[in-house]
Amino acid sequence: MIKIVKILKKNSAFIFQMAQFSSKPTASEVLTAYLMQCNEPPWTSYFVKYRSVKDDQFGMSNFNWKVGSSNYQILRTGCFPYIKYHCSRRRVEDLGVSDKFMRAIKVVNLGIPCLLYGLAATQLIRHTEIVHTTKGPVTIYFLLPEHKGSHH
């Protein structure tokens, strides 16, 4: 047992690095990285697979998100096998009531429309892009290619 502890102590930095390397980025890191990668676009709308990220924004449906010099109003929903993000560069607003309302609608509908949206998206997605994160590249998905910098 003492020999195992010594080996672990000796190699703990390597083990920690391997654990970090193998872990997934958070959904919020992908969101921030993509918006920065696109030079803070006026808007964007994309899907990311649940299995590609740690879902650190679970339960958040409508919220403000600061990136660089911009604020984004985010509409977010789980639509298995994806998480869907719609991001609009806008001023900061109190979105608390809207967030609670959207969550309530999802609960009342038992998430069925969200599931159907995700299943339909698996057939409708036509474009992908790579987002570079601290945990490695993540593929995000689009129904159509976006014209970067265009307005709604």
Whether 41 is in a domain gets the answer yes
59 three-state secondary structure: coil
In a domain, 30, yes or no: yes
Let me know if residue 137 belongs to a domain. Answer: yes
Strands of the chain, DSSP E: 43-49, 62-67, 70-79, 82-89, 127-133, 136-142
Q: For 72-125, what is each residue's pLDDT tens digit?
A: 999 999 999 999 999 999 999 999 999 999 999 999 999 899 999 999 999 999
Report if residue 13 sits inside a domain. no
Please state the domain count of the chain: 1
Match 């590609």 to its residue by tokens: 52
The answer to whether residue 152 is domain-embedded is: no
Please give the residue range of the domain that contains residue 45: 24-142
What's the pTM? 0.81
Q: What percent of the chain has pLDDT over 70?
A: 83
Q: Give yes or no for residue 5 having a pLDDT over 70.
A: no
Q: Is residue 17 part of a domain?
A: no
